[in-house]
């Protein structure tokens, strides 16, 4: 097959855009050249020639020479406008915007189908790990039952430093921001929202299910205290922010939450900014994929992988979605064991189907119990900042 020569129009030149420029320069083997880069602030100093930059998006979207638009901005609404106009103009699109994709997937699929252009987004999930391509190709004929793992490099970096290096949350958060692993507003990462977006995309490529992020339970790591870390150490646990989906018949459960896992668990050895994905299936059993989940070059390499694929006219076939069981649905009826730490009193024990353990002390209190995911997600007490929950694997 003959390779196509690509002319790239890039939106955004932050961490990922800079990473793409670096890996594109160093790779040398991809038949692609940057023609124009659209940015917000023209006067900001940048490491390449000013001739590449513009603040006028139409210079990219209307240029007939540019045949691939690479969307790398933070604003999901603006990103959708860029991506949709690009596809309407017959341009292939590569995106890293997991929020836009998770929230607007049906519209994006319709645009792709209507205008017959590829839309690729490997970089939107787990950066350097080629999980989407594997789910699309390798696992097409295998019976997947579960996909789980560490989908956010920023929070994994923070948790590793807190547990292994005994660094406080505010200090390590600042370090993560300085290294470019976390945004100046880290809410999407530390509250488990970013990996929830990624889980929505995983659900589509693993099982053919389209769902909205609002329908998936998430809980973050910002409430983890020294008390919780001491508990983990005493029980020989690691703490990881785990995103997980399970398929049972035509029902799928999914959530994203901090989780105690055994030190022998393979995911316990995935540290710092690395991500890890565990796939479980009927035939191949468990498989683990590990790669860097944060940083300019790891994410840039995933974008470059999509650009390289476009030189061969690659596109997702979405076979699982096309042949999905129409009765397949997301449910929140699973029961999970959780650790609940509280400061003073707790009066909602009736929400739990069982309580296995209780502990009170002048330094803090906790109990371990089993609770339905729907009950947990709808509870009011979970909003109390003095209460922390951690799932127990």
| Annotated catalytic residue 198 | yes
DSSP element (H, E) containing 247: strand 237-248
Catalytic residue (one of 91, 99, 196, 198): 198
Two structure tokens written together for 189: 């990462």
DSSP-derived secondary structure letter, 142: S
DSSP element (H, E) containing 288: strand 285-292
Are 212 and 103 in contact by the 8 Å Cβ rule? The answer is yes
CA distance 289 to 184: 29
Three-class DSSP labels, 20-77: HHHHHHHHCCCCEEEEEEECCCCCCCCCCCHHHEECCCHHHHCCCCCCEEEECCCCHH
Are 255 and 217 in contact by the 8 Å Cβ rule? The answer is yes
One DSSP character per residue, 174-234 reads: HHHHHTTSS-SS-HHHHTTHHHHHHHHHHHHHHH-----GGGSEE--STT--HHHHHHHHH
Active site residues: 198
């Amino acid at each position: 097959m003959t390779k196509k020569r690509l002319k790239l129009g890039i939106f955004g030149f932050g961490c990922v855009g800079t990473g793409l420029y670096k890996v594109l320069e160093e790779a040398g083997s991809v038949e692609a050249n940057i023609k124009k880069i659209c940015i917000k602030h023209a006067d900001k100093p940048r490491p390449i020639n000013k001739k590449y930059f513009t603040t006028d998006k139409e210079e990219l979207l209307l240029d007939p020479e540019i045949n691939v638009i690479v969307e790398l901005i933070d604003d999901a609404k603006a990103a959708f406008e860029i991506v949709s106009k690009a596809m309407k103009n017959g341009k292939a699109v590569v995106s890293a915007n997991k929020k836009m994709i998770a929230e607007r997937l049906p519209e994006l699929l319709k645009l792709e189908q209507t205008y017959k252009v590829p839309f690729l987004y490997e970089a939107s999930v787990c950066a350097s790990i080629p999980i989407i391509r594997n789910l699309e190709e390798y696992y097409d004929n295998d019976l997947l039952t579960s996909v789980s793992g560490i989908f956010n490099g920023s929070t994994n970096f923070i948790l590793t430093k807190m547990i292994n290096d005994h660094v406080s949350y505010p200090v390590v958060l600042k370090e993560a921001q300085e290294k470019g692993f976390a945004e100046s507003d880290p809410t999407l990462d530390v509250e488990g929202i970013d990996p929830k977006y990624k889980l929505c995309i995983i659900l589509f490529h693993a099982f053919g299910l389209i769902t909205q992020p609002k329908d998936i339970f998430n809980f973050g790591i910002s409430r983890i205290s020294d008390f919780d870390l001491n508990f983990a150490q005493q029980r020989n646990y690691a703490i990881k922010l785990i995103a997980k989906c399970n398929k049972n018949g035509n029902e799928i459960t999914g959530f994203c939450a901090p989780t105690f896992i055994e030190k022998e668990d393979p995911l316990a050895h995935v540290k710092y900014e690395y991500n890890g994905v565990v796939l479980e299936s009927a035939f191949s059993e468990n498989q683990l994929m590990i790669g860097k989940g944060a940083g300019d070059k790891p994410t840039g390499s995933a974008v470059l992988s999509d650009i390289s694929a476009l030189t061969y006219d690659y596109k997702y076939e979405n076979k699982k979605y096309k042949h999905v069981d129409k009765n397949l649905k997301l449910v929140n009826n699973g029961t999970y064991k959780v650790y609940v730490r509280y400061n003073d009193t707790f009066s909602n024990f009736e929400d739990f189907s069982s309580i296995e353990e209780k502990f009170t002390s002048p330094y803090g209190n906790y109990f371990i119990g089993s609770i339905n995911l729907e009950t947990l997600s709808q509870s009011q007490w979970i909003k109390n900042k003095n209460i922390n929950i951690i799932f127990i694997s």
